[in-house]
Amino acid sequence: MDLYNLTAHELASLLTKRELLPIDICNSNIDRINGVEKSINALAHFDKGLALERSKALNGLPIFIKDNICVKDELTTCSSKILKGFKPPYSATVINKLTKENSVLMGKTNMDEFAFGSSTETSFYGPTRNPWDLDRIPGGSSGGSAAAVSAGEAVWALGSDTGGSIRQPAGLCGVVGLKPTYGRVSRYGLIAFASSLDQIGPITRDVEDSAMLLKIIAGHDSMDSTSADIPVPDYVSLIKKDIKGMRIGIPKEYFIEGMDKDVKAAVLEAIKKLESLGALCEDTSLPHTEYAVAVYYVVATAEASSNLARFDGVQYGLRSEKIKSMIDMYKKTRQEGFGDEAKRRIILGTFALSSGYYDAYYLKALKVRTLIKRDFDEAFKKFDAIVTPTSPTPAFKIGEKISDPLTMYLSDIFTISANLAGIPGISVPCGFTKNNLPIGLQVLGKPFDEETILRVAYNYEQNTEWHKKRPKL
């Protein structure tokens, strides 16, 4: 039995029965890492000795963490040169919650630099590759987490989602990715990209694992002013109810021209499956969807330019050595430390916030963001959940879009709206293209109603075989 192929809940059951030890699971993952990591490059920081030491001392499951979530005294670099060598003096709230569960922190996963990207090609550590086709991207920015889970290097992992960065790579790598409601999971200790959009969430092999991991990391945190003081349900028990009579909306704006034929066919087939399980699926409209990408790339870059101002070489991370003055140090450190995409987003955001342009860009974007949220509010008066494709296409080739930022930005066209509206979303495997590339089905729900989208995803998953397939590496 290959332990690295089992789900977290299967492994947890074996641990409870004392049929295996945490060190057995850790060793299985390490063997798998030794076998496939050179091909995939899913990990940013991994200390085999430390992982083994922890697995001997703790009685929990191993987990990998995205490289933008702080772990005290351990490398946390956002996969950027400018944070080279940075070890935070504190841990994120989600890390403290995992530690209470005796989770074995294995290391950090690769990501797009500062979460700026949809392909995990902008990392200082080089691109991550999709386990289903090593010539293709795994999605981004949590591509390392998705690829590690898909390839069996990780039992499960944490990612962050600002515009689709959990759901899109999960969809492209054939695993499950959940973006909780904004405020459901504490952002304390998450190195910020866009503070009004960021959310930490699970990337797992199946829906039950996502429900388990969400239960661990969710909840109010006084260290995060945007954290919601709302009770956290027992997701695992709630998702196992059927979906008979549940009303599901199918927005026409998510079935666009240029969408991959195999993706469209798989998603329509998935909708039929939901209907066969008793759900009532009807067409609906989210009319302001067409503005989501434009709004996102004003709001997100504006917030990024503000958040990244702190990375200047003064207190931590990289500092340029060839300097003549303090101002020269700021300029050269940021010039040498940030990659092209980070610089692009900082410049775009600074421009949008600048005098004379704030009202024309940032303020207008916030107003349209409100309209996008109202579309969902109206839809959820009638529907319990909304179902869409996760991505308009399967994974594309490495290098195919990296020199064309606008085309790259459109990769998140189906996931961005959920972040702008602050609602929860989950991607679950729903098929494969003719080239054997995974396809994801996205389920969106009302704020703080994660149990409903988990329930829809779980019922679909348990009546199909897609989640059981593994890449051949």
pLDDT tens readout for residues 106-118: 999 999 999 999 9
Question: Per-residue pLDDT for 231 more than 90?
Answer: yes
Comparison of pLDDT for 38 and 257, the residue scoring more: 38
DSSP H or E run through 63 = strand 62-66
pLDDT at 209: 98
Report the pLDDT averaged over residues 358-381. Answer: 97
Report the pLDDT averaged over residues 231-236. Answer: 97
The verdict on whether 332 is a catalytic residue reads: no
For residues 438 and 394, the answer to whether their CB atoms sit within 8 Å is yes
pLDDT at 258: 85
What is residue 354's three-state secondary structure? coil
For residue range 393-444, list pLDDT tens digits in order: 999 999 999 988 888 988 899 999 999 999 999 999 999 999 999 999 999 9
For residue range 17-49, list pLDDT tens digits in order: 999 999 999 999 999 999 999 999 999 999 999
DSSP H or E run through 20 = none
DSSP H or E run through 455 = helix 450-462
Preceding omega of 306 cis (within 30 degrees of 0)? no
The verdict on whether 141 is a catalytic residue reads: yes
Query: With 0-12 CB in 10 A as exposed, 13-18 as middle and 19+ as buried, what is 257?
Result: exposed
Which of the following is catalytic: 141, 150, 391, 427? 141
Question: Per-residue pLDDT for 229 more than 80?
Answer: yes
Question: Per-residue pLDDT for 457 more than 80?
Answer: yes
For residues 135 and 102, the answer to whether their CB atoms sit within 8 Å is no
Nearest to 42 by CA among 117, 138, 165: 138
The share of the chain scoring above pLDDT 70, in percent, equals 100
pLDDT at 131: 98
| CA 145/CA 156 separation, integer angstroms | 8
DSSP H or E run through 382 = helix 364-382
For residue range 259-287, list pLDDT tens digits in order: 999 999 999 999 999 999 999 999 999 99
Question: Per-residue pLDDT for 322 more than 90?
Answer: no
The share of the chain scoring above pLDDT 90, in percent, equals 95
Report the pLDDT averaged over residues 125-136. Answer: 98
pLDDT at 160: 98
Query: Strand 280-284 vs strand 247-251: parallel, antiparallel, or unpaired?
Result: parallel
Residue 329: pLDDT band (50, 70, 90) is: very high
Q: In Å, what is the CA distance from 162 to each residue of 190, 198, 260, 335?
A: 12, 4, 24, 25
pLDDT at 175: 98
For residues 254 and 290, the answer to whether their CB atoms sit within 8 Å is no
pLDDT at 382: 98
Which of the following is catalytic: 165, 227, 411, 427? 165
Does the predicted model carry a pTM greater than 0.95?
A: yes
Which of the following is catalytic: 28, 55, 66, 118? 66
Query: HSE-up of 270 (CA within 13 Å, CB side)?
Result: 33
Question: Per-residue pLDDT for 1 more than 80?
Answer: no
Measured in degrees and rounded to the nearest 5, phi and psi for residue 59 equal: -115, 40
pLDDT at 356: 87
Distance of CA 21 to the CA centre of its chain: 29
pLDDT at 115: 98
Structural domains present in the chain: 3-249+380-468 (3.90.1300.10)
Number of other residues whose CB lies within 10 A of the CB of residue 278 = 12
Measured in degrees and rounded to the nearest 5, phi and psi for residue 159 equal: -130, -175
Query: With 0-12 CB in 10 A as exposed, 13-18 as middle and 19+ as buried, what is 254?
Result: buried
Report the pLDDT averaged over residues 201-216. Answer: 98
| CA 386/CA 376 separation, integer angstroms | 9
The verdict on whether 103 is a catalytic residue reads: no
Measured in degrees and rounded to the nearest 5, phi and psi for residue 296 equal: -60, -45
